[in-house]
Structure 1
């Protein structure tokens, strides 16, 4: 059975892209849209590469990943590095799919490192499975070569790969890949879909241990458990209000606003509880949209109102003075902060309710990913609130 499970794992991991210095100086954008000055990079990151197998038979695991993505993001939102709230970055690969280029090992980079949670969700939901050959060593090496991992010794650099075929398949030796990963201070974590001991005998555990990573085995067919709370409806009403605080700008603003709504619908397609969890994620510092939302862009100093040209503004702001634009965005910012605070208060009550009513049933993928991330983050002095 080929493993599509990886795709799901990587999803979770996506949540694990937390970066240590959330508040670093950024250069302002001189907005002439064609003349964007990119922000200075943060000094410390948690970078996670999710390597997903999209070969046959692992649809159940993919469903787990889609359903638990926002749970993982929410858990990561409580992380701290010193006094700072870390940011999140995720890269996504698929492999083992016959539709991919065989000359390149049936491997495709879906997303380079990104902090766009809506885009990550979109790509996760777009993945489809098909038969193929799964080359674990080659896809890991490809991610090591292609991605910008950086050279900062304080960064936390993680690979998560999931599957159920032998780890030794393909021409690239996973032991050589592990040596390369160690040289770059990158930790490889492996998730085997199936029996724990079978994963050991097919070298998934060895693949993780060579870089001091975690080996995990999960039941990919376990259904995700969603517990409905009496606070869910109120949180979802607040989500509708939250969406109205976004002020689009630039050529992609309208498209990105539509993408936000699409991912709301994708979350809701699993359950009301899952839509609630996405709403909670949208109230956290990890959900930022400075490339298309003026509220986030001004807060993060990526745009200066004085430099905004009329053609990048939404209809409601065209023809307005700079002072009027500032006042409008400031009002939306205040509304958003108030709504996000209400969501956080209700979520604390929701968490208490869920804790009291949940049974021993667990969500395998979520637990495996968050546990590994937390343990490895401790090495870089991360803490959880």
Structure 2
């Protein structure tokens, strides 16, 4: 019996060490037609999570930065679809958004506003980015960093990659709160602060943007936030955009948010297309990836969750087309939509592969977006320290 207890104890220690090193293992989800209540997309999960807080200066001179954020969000999301942990599991991605340095914001709050708490809802992230407008103001970098550290739930999981990206063009030292105290707090929370100076590289160093990053082991970068990126149109763009419209028709909204979220989905498609056609293409590619999951309002995504049950779903929560239907009829309808969606997503993914090959052959050097390149460089470097890789 004593030997048996020793074996059990050693096994427990081994399991603990395995779970605490590198990326957390992802529990394989069962594919089944089960439905239930909405799920909070911001809820902390057991799986490894990448948390990124974007702190954007929205003063008068920052229109170019905001436009880059709107258009290059999808490049960052699409890159993350290829991220994996050392144990081959795929990380989740959550993004939070703050704006600062805008006269329209409260003086008492330091001209700072949380625009979005940590969210994995890509439509919501897009909506909040497109809601940003610029206006002159005071830019307090230390204060906005400190605010994001206090307000956001960063969690204590040492395997999660936690990053702040702060972008602006005024001295990093502005404001009553010393930025060194703020980044010191970030380091205690295992949050890496990356600084993006919108202007001359040397000027950013002189105004202490580089020091702000170095204190947490982050990256300092300088970008031309007004640079216009010349995108390459490909023979596959129009087809992908048309497939995206078909993809939307596979969503089955339910619950109190179903109808409004489906409307938001289309609105964000329109926003991307109005910005530039290539942005709409990149968004469509994101929507065909694993990171575009709408289980809180779409029955198809909800049906893939192991803890969803049809019996728990109130009939009033069902969309009009499914009211009065039997359980078997509802399951068949959802399965049909799921198959249709997977076919469209696979087609978009294949067309995007050909699109990327076309771009690689025709694109000039240094043609990527400034903000996108800066962020991905820092993300991949810091992710490597957490046992991440890209396939």
CA displacement at 1:270 relative to structure 2: 2.0
Q: Which of 359, 362, 372 is matched with 1:366 structurally?
A: 372
* Counterpart in the other structure of 2:71: 67
Q: Secondary structure at the match of 1:366?
A: helix
Residues 285, 348 of structure 2: 8 Å contact kept: yes
1:95 equivalenced with 2:100 (yes/no):
yes
For the pair shown, which has the larger CA radius of gyration, 1 or 2? 2
* Counterpart in the other structure of 1:209: 214
Q: Secondary structure at the match of 1:299?
A: coil
Cα distance in 1, alignment partners of residues 290 and 387 from structure 2: 20
* Counterpart in the other structure of 2:204: 199
Over the aligned positions, Cα root-mean-square deviation in angstroms equals 2.0
Q: Which of 378, 381, 385 is matched with 1:375 structurally?
A: 381
* Counterpart in the other structure of 1:316: 321
Compared CA separation, residues 288 and 374, structure 1 to 2 (3 A): same
Q: Secondary structure at the match of 1:88?
A: strand
- What residue ranges of structure 1 are gaps of 5+ in the alignment? 1-18
Q: How does 1:39-50 map to 2 (within 5 A)?
A: 41-50=45-54
* Counterpart in the other structure of 2:82: 78
Give aligned pairs, total.
364
Q: Which of 288, 296, 301 is matched with 2:293 structurally?
A: 288
Residues 71, 275 of structure 2: 8 Å contact kept: yes
Compared CA separation, residues 286 and 318, structure 1 to 2 (3 A): same
Compared CA separation, residues 40 and 74, structure 1 to 2 (3 A): closer
Cα distance in 1, alignment partners of residues 381 and 351 from structure 2: 29
Cα distance in 2, alignment partners of residues 176 and 203 from structure 1: 14
* Counterpart in the other structure of 2:350: 345
1:106 equivalenced with 2:107 (yes/no):
no
CA displacement at 1:61 relative to structure 2: 1.6
Cα distance in 2, alignment partners of residues 291 and 337 from structure 1: 19
1:56 equivalenced with 2:57 (yes/no):
no
Q: Secondary structure at the match of 2:108?
A: helix
* Counterpart in the other structure of 1:300: 305
Compared CA separation, residues 240 and 36, structure 1 to 2 (3 A): closer
Residues 24, 43 of structure 1: 8 Å contact kept: no
Q: Secondary structure at the match of 1:51?
A: strand
Compared CA separation, residues 20 and 351, structure 1 to 2 (3 A): farther
Q: Deviations over 1:129-173 (max 9, x none)?
A: 111111000100010111100111111110000000000000111
Q: Secondary structure at the match of 1:331?
A: helix
Residues 35, 311 of structure 2: 8 Å contact kept: no
Residues 21, 86 of structure 1: 8 Å contact kept: no
Q: Deviations over 1:79-115 (max 9, x none)?
A: 1112212211011111111111111111111111000
Q: Deviations over 1:235-282 (max 9, x none)?
A: 112111111100110011110000000010111012221111110000
Compared CA separation, residues 286 and 146, structure 1 to 2 (3 A): same
Q: Deviations over 1:351-370 (max 9, x none)?
A: 00011111123321111111
Q: TM-score, normalised by structure 2?
A: 0.89
Q: Deviations over 1:189-241 (max 9, x none)?
A: 00000000000000000000000000000001100221110011211121111
1:168 equivalenced with 2:169 (yes/no):
no
CA displacement at 1:54 relative to structure 2: 1.1
Residues 99, 115 of structure 2: 8 Å contact kept: yes
Cα distance in 1, alignment partners of residues 354 and 283 from structure 2: 16
Compared CA separation, residues 267 and 136, structure 1 to 2 (3 A): same
Residues 290, 302 of structure 1: 8 Å contact kept: no
Runs of 4+ in 1 over 6 A off after TM superposition: 35-40
Q: TM-score, normalised by structure 1?
A: 0.90
Cα distance in 2, alignment partners of residues 88 and 38 from structure 1: 10
Cα distance in 2, alignment partners of residues 182 and 36 from structure 1: 28
1:279 equivalenced with 2:297 (yes/no):
no
Q: How does 1:214-225 map to 2 (within 5 A)?
A: 214-225=219-230
